[in-house]
Amino acid sequence: MTEQSVTQQGVNHLVVVGNGMVGHRLVSTLRARDGDGTWQITVLGEESRPAYDRVALSSYVDGASEQDLRLDDAGLQDDPLVTHHLGDAVVEVDPGGRRVTTASGRTLGYDALVFATGSYAFVPPVTGRELPGCFVYRTLDDLDAITEAAAAAVATTAPGRRSAVVVGGGLLGLEAARALRLLGLSPQVVEVAPWLMPVQVDARGGALLHRLVSEQGIAVRTGVSLTGIVRDRDRLVATLSDGVELDADVVVFAAGIRAADGPARACGLPVGPRGGVLVDDRCRTADEHVWAIGECAALEGRTYGLVAPGYAMAEVVADRLLGGSARMRPEQLDTSTRLKLLGVDVAGFGDAHAATEGALEVVVDDPVAGTYAKLVVAPPSSTGDASTLLGGVLVGDASRYGALRPLMGAPLPADPVALISTGGAEPDASALPDSAQICSCNAVTKGDLCAAIDGGAHDVPALKACTRAGTTCGSCVPALTRILQQQGVELSTALCAHFDHSRAELFEIVAGAGITSFSALLSRYGRGRGCEVCKPVVASILASLGTGHVLDGEQASLQDTNDHFLANLQRNGTYSVVPRIAGGEVTPAGLIVIGEVARDFGLYTKITGGQRIDLFGARVDDLPAIWRRLVDAGFESGHAYGKSLRTVKSCVGSAWCRYGVQDSVAMAVELELRYRGLRSPHKLKSGVSGCARECAEARSKDFGVIATEQGWNLYVGGNGGFTPRHAELLVSDVDSATLIRTIDRFLMFYIRTADRLQRTAPWIESLDGGLDHLRSVIVDDALGICADLDAAMQRHVGSYADEWAGVLDDPEKLSRFVSFVNAPDAPDPTIRFVPERGQAIPAPAPVLLGVPEVSAR
């Protein structure tokens, strides 16, 4: 049968394939935001049950009913724009005709299709895996079958012989072991890795977990695998790789999951090397009408088996379907986990295995108390005092997980040992930035919670209802309480624990007192040794005031990784090199040089949205040689690594375009060359459009220029990113000299008064009087500081020097660019590449068997 949806004009048809937690989140989010009813939604579910909470699956064995686990969808069931067809799997997708066909013969057309098919349980290819009594642990139907088999075993087997084998010692395997014990069986866990939960915890944490689980009456065998299962009369015999045979009434496979990408694969959509529909950071597949979210999606080639990234993907797709510009961000791919297994608290978050080069491990191991805690902090070479939290492991007592996990990437508020010691310092919410994720399951930040509190959510239930924080796994509920307690306390304006002054106050101190070094500022106006917050801020202030090359003397130690190597660090340990192409204008000879450099050094090339060419995959020891070739050809640093001006984008303007009214290219080149290297609180982007058609997208920039018949309009405070904002008109129909003078003052006033890492849009909003106040200061000179701002910009323009060239002319600076200080000629052996579309990209980690590696050179 064919269904032809009859809807009002202007309504689009969305088909969601899958009715799990992530598919449910997409539908509920889209309906909550789609006030105009622009999408009619049809949900096709393979399971016959309504959507339920898989995170709490084990509670089903512990007495919870299906109704208890059911996700709240009362509103969706009554929604005329949402239709559910359950127990009717999709058997065919026709992308060309934009149709799907289900097992019942139902055919549906669509304007957009979202795969939310989740995953299926991985079963190792061992003989006997399909025998009666063998199960997977994935759905409520699976648990019903396991419960029935366990009940039969209890009824027919002597008490001492009732047993089960669980294949897999990860999160799901230990949950399955607990469930089997509740059903009256004695489970034995078989894990091929050397310790339990190898993804979440390290070897020492795994050893303690092994002991604590064994004390609960569950046998654990690690470092062995299952090789086969046979039937022996009315029981099963599982043989292990070490020759041991285990009798069992039930064998449960909980050895991992695989992306349920069958329907997408069948219709020709590309999939990742380890499964999963390939999607970009918009969660869109190779077909512009098809999306994929959750465990069936492979974002940048990787699938994620936790609900939090899936929820984030659902939010992104809902936004995109309604015309938004949301994209997946790295912090949304949070794989942190906390759970209580068999009475044992376990948590792992961030870089739990200290895989970051040079990372330090702070461990408190108390075998008597049965607790193990480890924090992984950044190496002193990048932070100065090893205060940045990279990850951690908690076994036996994970009560501090909710306070520690949001601190990842931020300076620790106390000594790491004290933070994980019994009776030590308790992290509090006031130490967290607003961007810190408090609820990783639902991607709720501290800022979201504070906004909800300001809006009247004054208790935990209200916060849950308003933000969804604490509604999935519940581990963040204590943090919600702490934030509620601490709201209303006036927050300090101090930059960090080492300075009582704000960034703007420190700028005035440095400029007024003539301070030229961090140590001098710290000794006179601060305390301690400094941290990863104040060091880069002071480094930026010193650079803004023209105190020399960023790698001169003490300044070099203040820089973060990107500034330290004058290049952008990429995920595989290589760097990207971005030469300046002012206004997007480049000669054929220049293009040839860039191409030759990329070819000779094996670099991946990508044209950016800012009209530049990025060269990816450069090893740190190759950077000077790459720069030498580019500098000799007339290129210079594009400052893609710095909190400074990135690009001034332009259209072709009146030189070529029949609609252009001013020479936008010439203006863009002049502005980019004038402000190149200008250090600021955050990155700066600009654009110049030659007419009102706005091809350079100038109104999405920090400062944007649009040509008019009479001259130029200047717009300021536009930002892209997570919270996009259009720039606002500051001055109109001005000549070129007035335009440049106004931009000079705007930038200098921003650099002097903005907070750390504050973009121009929130900075303008923070000004008392907003845009009107800004106009009065830099146009009307209401504060009498314009002459000073003009002079400051002239000093910058007059003192500019290319940072790449500054390194090439200085042997001491050049000595920094080696992979290993103690072996300067040795390349980093951990850097590997694989071919992709004719270029080299980072190899997955670990490198996949059968995928050829390529050299970067």
Q: CA quadruple 614, 533, 432, 415: dihedral positive or negative?
A: positive
Torsion of CA 820, 823, 829, 830, to 10 degrees: -20
The SS3 assignment for 186 reads strand
Q: Output the known binding site.
A: 651, 657, 691, 695
625: nearest Cα among 839, 822, 817: 817
CB 511 within 8 A of CB 545: yes
Q: Which of 719, 809, 807, 802 is nearest to 758 (CA)?
A: 719
Annotated binding residues for [4Fe-4S] cluster, written as ranges, equal 651, 657, 691, 695
Q: Please state, in angstroms and rounded to a whole number, the distance separating the CA atoms of residues 294 and 51.
A: 14
Before 95, cis peptide (omega within 30)?
no
User: Encoding tokens for residue 679?
Assistant: 């250090």
The answer to whether 748 and 793 are in contact (CB under 8 A) is yes
Alpha-carbon span 667 to 691, nearest angstrom: 13
Across 500-539, b (16+ Cβ under 10 Å) vs e yields: ebbbbbbbebbeeeebebbeebbeebbeeebbbbbbbbbb
Distance from C-alpha of 389 to C-alpha of 375, rounded to nearest angstrom? 7
Which residue type sits at 667? M
Residue linked to tokens 């016959």: 48
Alpha-helical runs (H) found in 428-489 = 446-454, 460-467, 477-486
Q: 251 with 167: CB under 8 angstroms?
A: yes
Q: How many CB atoms lie within 10 A of CB 628?
A: 15
3-state secondary structure of 267: coil
CA 120 to chain centre: 25
Q: What value, to the nearest 5°, has the Cα angle with vertex 849 and ends 845 and 851?
A: 85
Number of H helices, E strands in the chain: 28, 38
Q: What is the CA radius of gyration of the chain?
A: 30
Q: Are strands 186-191 and 163-167 parallel, antiparallel or unpaired?
A: parallel
Enumerate the known binding-site residues for siroheme: 695
Q: Residue 308: which H helix or E strand, with range?
A: helix 307-321
